[in-house]
Structure 1
């Protein structure tokens, strides 16, 4: 007997700890996303295959001196990539950045902000 495919509704009732709910809501807000959109992105990231660039570069910190600001390129491991910065309008030589995502030849970066103690 052949298995029948069922179409899912896309709705998942989910019960989580209220403190976790608060943390997730705050993280979503920081990224300018709805909680639903933020959770969907987390789930998608968890199941999609990682690219070579994701495995090699995500999480690495790069210096502002690695940027070619005129051409909007950044040099990582000897290769120039296009970039997007998720929390700043432009790259700066005097800042450091963490690589959040690699999609083909485009890196998504976040400027690291020094914490005051």
Structure 2
């Protein structure tokens, strides 16, 4: 069962936001995923890592043939997940995608730039 999510406004210096965005990009993750991980580590250092999907899938490349835009599913390691594409971009059949966030049964994908 997925945990209920919430949102809030966070103000921080532009330089910190830039540094966080750079780190997230280096780790092939979304900024949201990076922040959740950093906050969880700080608040609960002894807590085990996040979900299987979060631990195993971040940074994994998904070939376009594994994505079915008709039903909104992507197959990863034999399991079908719902997916979103970063920035609400449309699916491009000639591109592969990298998983940048896993939240419950929803993966966030970013097109792989060659």
Q: For residues 43 and 71 of structure 1, what CA distance do their matches in structure 2 show?
A: 30
Kept in 2, the 8 Å contact 1:60–1:99? The answer is yes
TM-score normalised by the chain length of structure 1: 0.60
The residue number in structure 2 matching 1:106 is 106
SS of structure 2 residue aligned to 1:53: helix
The residue number in structure 1 matching 2:7 is none
The residue number in structure 2 matching 1:70 is 70
* Consecutive unaligned residues in structure 1, runs of 5 or more: 1-10, 15-20, 32-37
Q: For residues 110 and 22 of structure 1, what CA distance do their matches in structure 2 show?
A: 23
TM-score normalised by the chain length of structure 2: 0.62
Q: For residues 38 and 20 of structure 2, what CA distance do their matches in structure 1 show?
A: 20
Q: For residues 26 and 50 of structure 1, what CA distance do their matches in structure 2 show?
A: 20
Larger radius of gyration between Structure 1 and Structure 2: 1
Kept in 1, the 8 Å contact 2:100–2:107? The answer is yes
RMSD: 3.4
Structure with more relative contact order (C-alpha pairs < 8 Å, separation 6 or more): 2
* Consecutive unaligned residues in structure 2, runs of 5 or more: 1-9, 26-30, 41-48
Kept in 2, the 8 Å contact 1:67–1:75? The answer is yes
CA deviations 1:52-71 (Å, max 9, x no partner) are 11001011011111011110
